[in-house]
Structure 1
Amino acid sequence: MGFENAAQVCNGILSSGAAGRKKTPLPSDSVINLDHGDPTMFEPYWRNLGGNCTVVISGSDVMSYFSNPGNICWFLESGLADAIRKVHRLVGNAMTEDRHILVGNGSTQLFQAALFALSSADAPEPISVVSAAPYYSVSLTNSPL
């Protein structure tokens, strides 16, 4: 599976030792827009890597929406979770052992996944969510907005 090899393929680029770690400087006119989560600021970095860090996903790897029905995050590919943990272990920028790995297509999905992962299944009511306008109601049954 492509996810399993992602961290291994990138191993030549990322180093677990601080002395071996290379930082890619950002241009001074770079803008990080946290409003909508568009990661295009990293495009020059990934273009420079070329084929050194290629992920191949076979069509049979993602045949079902249910990657792991027994997991609380049933749509998370186990190979992706393993690769995420390995990359963070190599880089040393996040604790991932005994932690939930949250995946999503945008910040709203990630916030909802975090709320779901951190809430008790037998709580009398859902976690309250406070958001500045405009907000996007994903599911009124899961969280009152």
Structure 2
Amino acid sequence: MRLKVLLPFRVFADQTDVSRIVAETHDGSFGLLPRRRDCVAALVPGILTYQSDADGEVFVAIDEGLLTKIGNEVWVVVRRATRGTNLEQLREAVQRDYLTLDDIQQSAREATRKLESNFVNRFARFKNE
């Protein structure tokens, strides 16, 4: 298989001899082998693992994103990625960097929901007056 890991402004990885990929989704981890059916999956922050003939087993810490498999091509589109050999350090990077940002984003979304709710309530009261 050919694996491309794409970031917003550059190609992070382009590997042509990939024999296995393991990724994490909201429903848990799943694996891809070359003859698996085509699929699309929403990825959560975690560790993407792939096996290549040239590099062996490679670990990549990724932010949330999207995985698409079409034929022999697998594209992973994420906001951030970090390659490493020490799995424990990559796990810590995911916990520290990627999941913290999600907490900030969730707080911002909650504040936006409250503003929208207040606006709708005030608009409904104004319409009824």
Per the shorter chain, which TM-score range?
under 0.3
TM-score scaled by structure 1?
A: 0.23
Structure with greater strand share of residues:
2
Over alpha carbons, which structure has the higher Rg?
Answer: 2
TM-score (norm 2): 0.25
Higher relative contact order (CA 8 A, sep 6+): 1
> Higher helix share goes to which structure?
1
